[in-house]
Amino acid sequence: MMAPVASELGIELRVLAESPGACAAAVVPTSPVGDYTDLTTLRDFAEGVDVVTFDHEHVPTEHLRALLADGVSVHPGPNALIHAQDKIEMRRAVDRLGLPNPRWAAVTSPEELREFGESAGWPVVLKTPRGGYDGKGVMLVESHEVDSDEVASWFQRAVDAGWNEAALLAEEKVDFSRELSALVARRPSGHIRAWDVAESIQVNSVCDEVIVPAPNLSEDISAAATDAAKRLADELGVTGVMAAELFETPGRGQGFLVNELAMRPHNSGHWTQDGSVTSQFEQHLRAVLDLPLGSTERVAPATVMKNFLGGSNPNLFAAYPSVMSEYPRAKIHTYGKSVRPDRKVGHVNVTGDIADVEELRAIARGAADGIRDYPTPELD
Ligand code: ADP
């Protein structure tokens, strides 16, 4: 989704695609296919570019350090990105900065997990420090499950993968009122701009819907959340867009606890395509190129973003005539991905008045569900 704004600004993109069918390759003419975990591939790819940036966090940190040593400009740099790659490093940094964390521990065995659960309370949220997304890599563990084969296999995975200290992250199960996202962008020279704090609604640990501004969010929590995201971006030296995912916990922490960090355009910021003067995709490009950041003001009082996952309709386009006619206010964005069950294949943005937020949600839901569930003709 950086490609349209790059083209508008005359910025030439080059994408290292995972496969010939990668959706970015369909919209970026120079898209060599290669393995982002292979340093030689990365070096070849980086030759001649002004800056290397990412749309996911999985490029090995040591390879990014090697690129930096070669003189390549990498944004965000590995010392910042590590906090989005490794949740234990992120927890340590949040503690170091005095920002509010849930209770947590790095655990290397079922015994240490039990010890943590006995003091933090059951169930415990067990996470792989690396490689997780959309809830993959997150497990709820009750006290009677600590010695299960599944928990043992997770610890084995930490050993096999060679993660730092072969540790997993154990967290208390936070009793939160909702999830929030504080989205900011920072350029290398240090200038930061923040968007309004969003509410993000998860279904089965996958972002389903985002509402901006977060309805009825107290001014204190909003200001503290924005300050926390700015501080994290500043002190970790983040360049580009960063989302701080937060648990709203009125009366605890600063009214929120930090969940995790993402250092790239993030699902909780897709609303900015239609709801903000500058979209997160444009802002990311501006930031990593150290160009002046654009205004993050809302262009409408409220925006609702609703994701659609792969469902029964394999041909999204087939749904357009009916959905576009029924929901003319819905802005449809698709990713050019083939439709697979539960794969994020697009989202819908709807803008309007704050007082009408439930109507905006209904429109967004109607359009997204209408595309996902559009009845496919029976094949003979
Ligand atoms: P991912 O990297 O897969 O997005 P997260 O750490 O964000 O993983 O966890 C996915 C979801 O699981 C969160 O959005 C939240 O709904 C829930 N979750 C994660 N950690 C906790 C926790 N400590 N307490 C309660 N719920 C949690």
What digits encode the pLDDT tens for the residues 113-130? 999 999 999 999 999 999
Residue 182 has pLDDT above 90, yes or no: yes
- Domain endpoint, select from 84, 118, 135: 84
Average pLDDT over residues 286-298: 98
Domain co-membership, 251 together with 349: yes
Tell me: the pLDDT tens digits for 222-239? 999 999 999 999 999 999
CB of 95 within 8 A of CB of 104? Answer: no
Residue 25: per-residue pLDDT: 86
Average pLDDT over residues 195-212: 96
Number of domains in the chain: 3
Residue 378: per-residue pLDDT: 58
> Does the beta carbon of 135 lie inside 6 Å of ligand 1?
yes
Q: What is the mean pLDDT of the chain?
A: 95
Which residues, at least 6 apart from 111, have a Cβ–Cβ distance to it below 8 Å? none
201 assigned to some structural domain = yes
> Does the beta carbon of 173 lie inside 6 Å of ligand 1?
yes
Domain co-membership, 55 together with 23: yes
Could you tell me which of 179, 167, 86, 178 has the C-alpha nearest to residue 126?
167
- Domain endpoint, select from 84, 115, 144: 84
CB of 225 within 8 A of CB of 246? Answer: yes
**How far out from the chain centre does Cα 244 lie?**
9
380 assigned to some structural domain = no
Q: How far apart are CA 269 and CA 194, in angstroms?
A: 11
Tell me: the pLDDT tens digits for 8-33? 999 999 999 998 888 888 899 899 99
Residue 379: per-residue pLDDT: 53
> Does the beta carbon of 309 lie inside 6 Å of ligand 1?
no
Domain co-membership, 168 together with 120: yes
141 assigned to some structural domain = yes
Q: What is the pTM of this model?
A: 0.96
**Residue numbers of the domain that contains 273:** 178-372
Give me the sign of the Cα torsion angle 109, 113, 118, 120: positive
Which residue from 138, 173, 199, 249 has its CB within 8 A of the most atoms of ligand 1, so it is best to mutate?
A: 138
Ligand 1 center–CA 331 separation, angstroms:
28
pLDDT more than 70, % of the chain: 99
Q: How far apart are CA 210 and CA 361, in angstroms?
A: 9
Ligand 1 center–CA 245 separation, angstroms:
9
Structure tokens belonging to residue 172: 């208390």
Give the lowest-confidence range in 121-135, 236-250, 315-329: 121-135
Residue 362 has pLDDT above 70, yes or no: yes
The CATH number for 199's domain is: 3.30.470.20
Q: How far apart are CA 200 and CA 212, in angstroms?
A: 9
Residue 135: per-residue pLDDT: 77
Q: How far apart are CA 245 and CA 198, in angstroms?
A: 10
Measured CA to CA in angstroms, residue 156 lies from 35, 79, 89, 92, 123 at distances of: 25, 27, 20, 23, 21
Radius of gyration of the chain (CA): 21
Which residue from 259, 264, 266, 342 has its CB within 8 A of the most atoms of ligand 1, so it is best to mutate?
A: 259
CA-136 nearest atom, ligand 1: 3
Which residues, at least 6 apart from 251, have a Cβ–Cβ distance to it below 8 Å? none
Q: How far apart are CA 25 and CA 28, in angstroms?
A: 5
Q: How many CB atoms lie within 10 A of CB 129?
A: 22
Could you tell me which of 322, 319, 303, 323 has the C-alpha nearest to residue 311?
319
Residue 43: per-residue pLDDT: 98
Residue 216: per-residue pLDDT: 97
Residue 258: per-residue pLDDT: 98
Ligand 1: residue whose CA is nearest its atom 5: 135
Domain co-membership, 62 together with 156: no
Which residue from 125, 207, 258, 266 has its CB within 8 A of the most atoms of ligand 1, so it is best to mutate?
A: 125
97 assigned to some structural domain = no
- Domain endpoint, select from 84, 114, 148: 84
Residue 377: per-residue pLDDT: 64
- Longest Cα–Cα distance of the chain, Å, equals 64
Q: How far apart are CA 54 and CA 28, in angstroms?
A: 14
Residue 234: per-residue pLDDT: 98
